[in-house]
Amino acid sequence: MNALLDHWQAWLAEIAGPNGHWQLFMMVFPYFLLLEVPLNLLVLLGTLRWFVRKRSTVPVHSPWRPRVSIIITCYSEGKDVELTLRSLAEQTYPGVIEIIPVVDGASVNHETTEVVRRFKARQQLPANRLLRPIAKWQRGGRVSSLNTGLSFSTGEILINVDGDTSFDNDMVVRMVRHFRDPKVPAVAGSLRVRNARQSWVARIQALEYLLSIHMSKIGLAEWNLVNNVSGAFGAFRRSFLEQIGGWDTHTAEDLDLTLRIKSYFRRYGLRIPFEPRAIGHTDAPSTLRGFLDQRLRWDGDLFFVYLRKHRHTFNPRLVGWPNFLMLLVGGLFFQLVLPFIIVGYSLVAVIVLPFTAFVFYSLLIYALYLALSTLLYLGLMLMVSERPRQDLRLAWILPFYPFAMYALRCWSVVATLNETLRRGHEESSMAPWWVLKRANRF
């Protein structure tokens, strides 16, 4: 004990010396920023490249109008599904659109079932709009609904959407045009939070969707590094989807499917574009409890998918070196390892640093994250935003955004431990427990 006290006093004396501040800085500098800052710059450079290319590209009008099937996964959306159906029926796409709402657990989900029935009975659809509702009387979960829709659909292009998500009327036109390239098996669409004014929790998520998802996917898509095709809004080439067996069970079916597609990247030279002008509007959790519950599932699913189900995908021979490095850095490190480093760093800083030094370095790190967030936000407003007035209302959230992202990183530690120790993905609301249990192979 005396030796430890002597060592502590010697260290304090050294810090108080002429080179003490520099030594202290080198000890507590968050070295993970050496990876986080370059990744954000990569996103900004990709966004700038997209912006320049978009301004110089001449629009191509193609007579190719493939049949499109839109699978809507419905469970407990109630009246919200009517807005989804209407926004899809009003699409400007000149080809045939087959709209397939799949109501899961229809025997107990009476409200959603009745809304779909009333819409079919009352709505007069054009000849090139087909509404084919499917009632799954026993609940089988989200993946079961998607594969049911796949088996009953006839479209060459499939778009999967959530039952509580509505869309701009040019969504299908913008998504389908990417499939003229035979090397494109899937396209990721963009999501916005439509209930941002409902609470401060929803406003934080609205800004997060724009900066961490929308901007990130624009930048990464320029380097063919899209990390996920959202389960709430994505498009797929039917022939490729059937070739790989459709959607697989368990949770996080969107990330699972994206990784399975990426395992063919190097072999066939594939790419996954992101279409920032194909806009879906969804409701985010408006309460802190609902938000934390959602992220507990999302972040826990990352551990399950990356380390339990898809360890074999981390292979440059399958995905190619760029996507292999992105999976390691953007997937494993930033999603699973970095939250533990940040929590550990924070605890050590609280214990080791003098109060004034702790405040100084905390403000320094906050300023750096605020500068990065502001830079991304300015890039969004100047190059990307198709609704600048709406997005400008989120500017006042920026000073609070680094705190929210820090809290989410800490919560990711809880989610990862929950999955590691309790296999939290088996408690997902995306499927009944007995479906997940029977499918448990990992």
Confidence check: pLDDT of 6 > 70 = no
Confidence check: pLDDT of 72 > 90 = yes
- The angle formed by the CA atoms of residues 346, 348 and 354, to the nearest 5 degrees, is 95
Sign, CA dihedral 18-21-24-26, equals negative
Confidence check: pLDDT of 429 > 70 = no
Q: Which residues neighbour 108 within 8 Å (Cβ) at sequence distance 6 or greater?
A: 139
Q: Which CATH class is domain 28-51+156-432?
A: alpha beta
pLDDT value of residue 226: 93
For the packed helices 338-352 and 20-28, what is the interaxial angle rounded to 10 degrees? 150
281-297 pLDDT tens trace: 999 999 999 999 999 98
Considering the entire predicted model, what is its pTM?
0.89
333-348 pLDDT tens trace: 888 888 998 898 888 7
Structure tokens at 228: 């996920």
CB distance 162 to 88 below 8 Å: no
pLDDT value of residue 78: 81
- Tokens 């060459």, residue located: 156
Q: Which of 30, 47, 31 is nearest to 375 (CA)?
A: 47
d(CA 86, CA 94): 16
303-329 pLDDT tens trace: 888 888 888 888 999 999 999 999 998
CB distance 35 to 333 below 8 Å: yes
pLDDT value of residue 432: 61
CB distance 105 to 143 below 8 Å: no
> When comparing pLDDT for 165 and 442, which is higher?
165
In this prediction, residues 136-165 reach a mean pLDDT of 91
Share above pLDDT 90 across residues of the chain, in percent, rounded to a whole number: 58
In this prediction, residues 405-410 reach a mean pLDDT of 93
> When comparing pLDDT for 140 and 29, which is higher?
140
In this prediction, residues 134-155 reach a mean pLDDT of 90
d(CA 276, CA 384): 8
CB distance 74 to 49 below 8 Å: no
In this prediction, residues 171-194 reach a mean pLDDT of 96
d(CA 254, CA 236): 12
355-372 pLDDT tens trace: 887 888 788 889 889 999
Main-chain dihedrals φ then ψ at residue 136, nearest 5 degrees = -90, 105
- Any idea of the CA torsion for 423, 427, 431, 437, to the nearest 10 degrees? 50
End-to-end CA distance of the chain: 47
CA distances in angstroms from 44 to 51, 374, 377, 388, 414, listed in the order given: 10, 12, 10, 18, 30
CB distance 251 to 306 below 8 Å: no
Ranges 21-25, 56-60, 207-211, 384-388: which has the least confidence: 21-25
CB distance 124 to 93 below 8 Å: no
In this prediction, residues 425-431 reach a mean pLDDT of 59
Mean pLDDT, the chain, integer = 87
In this prediction, residues 26-46 reach a mean pLDDT of 78
Q: Which of 242, 293, 287, 222 is nearest to 53 (CA)?
A: 222
CB distance 137 to 106 below 8 Å: yes
pLDDT value of residue 138: 82
The secondary structure element, H or E, covering residue 379 is helix 355-379
Beta bridge partners of residue 161, listed in sequence order: 72, 233
> When comparing pLDDT for 64 and 91, which is higher?
91
Structure tokens at 300: 């826990």
The HSE-up count of residue 267 (CA atoms within 13 Å, CB side) is 7
The secondary structure element, H or E, covering residue 410 is helix 401-422
CB distance 267 to 385 below 8 Å: no
d(CA 173, CA 117): 27
Long-range contacts of 49-53 (CB under 8 A, 24+ apart): 49/222, 50/218, 50/219, 50/221, 50/222, 50/276, 50/383, 51/383, 51/384
Share above pLDDT 70 across residues of the chain, in percent, rounded to a whole number: 88
Q: Which of 335, 378, 184 is nearest to 274 (CA)?
A: 184
- SS3 (DSSP) at 323: helix
pLDDT value of residue 424: 63
pLDDT value of residue 441: 58
In this prediction, residues 95-111 reach a mean pLDDT of 90
Confidence grade of residue 223 (pLDDT, cut at 50, 70, 90): very high
In this prediction, residues 102-111 reach a mean pLDDT of 86
Confidence grade of residue 433 (pLDDT, cut at 50, 70, 90): low
> When comparing pLDDT for 64 and 171, which is higher?
171
Structure tokens at 209: 């969707």
Confidence grade of residue 3 (pLDDT, cut at 50, 70, 90): low
Confidence grade of residue 331 (pLDDT, cut at 50, 70, 90): confident
CB distance 295 to 424 below 8 Å: no
pLDDT value of residue 124: 83
- The angle formed by the CA atoms of residues 393, 288 and 253, to the nearest 5 degrees, is 95
pLDDT value of residue 378: 95
**Beta strands 134-136; 274-282: pairing state:** unpaired
231-276 pLDDT tens trace: 889 999 999 999 999 998 767 789 999 999 999 999 999 999 999 9
192-201 pLDDT tens trace: 999 999 999 9
CB distance 74 to 101 below 8 Å: yes
The HSE-up count of residue 58 (CA atoms within 13 Å, CB side) is 1
pLDDT value of residue 26: 56
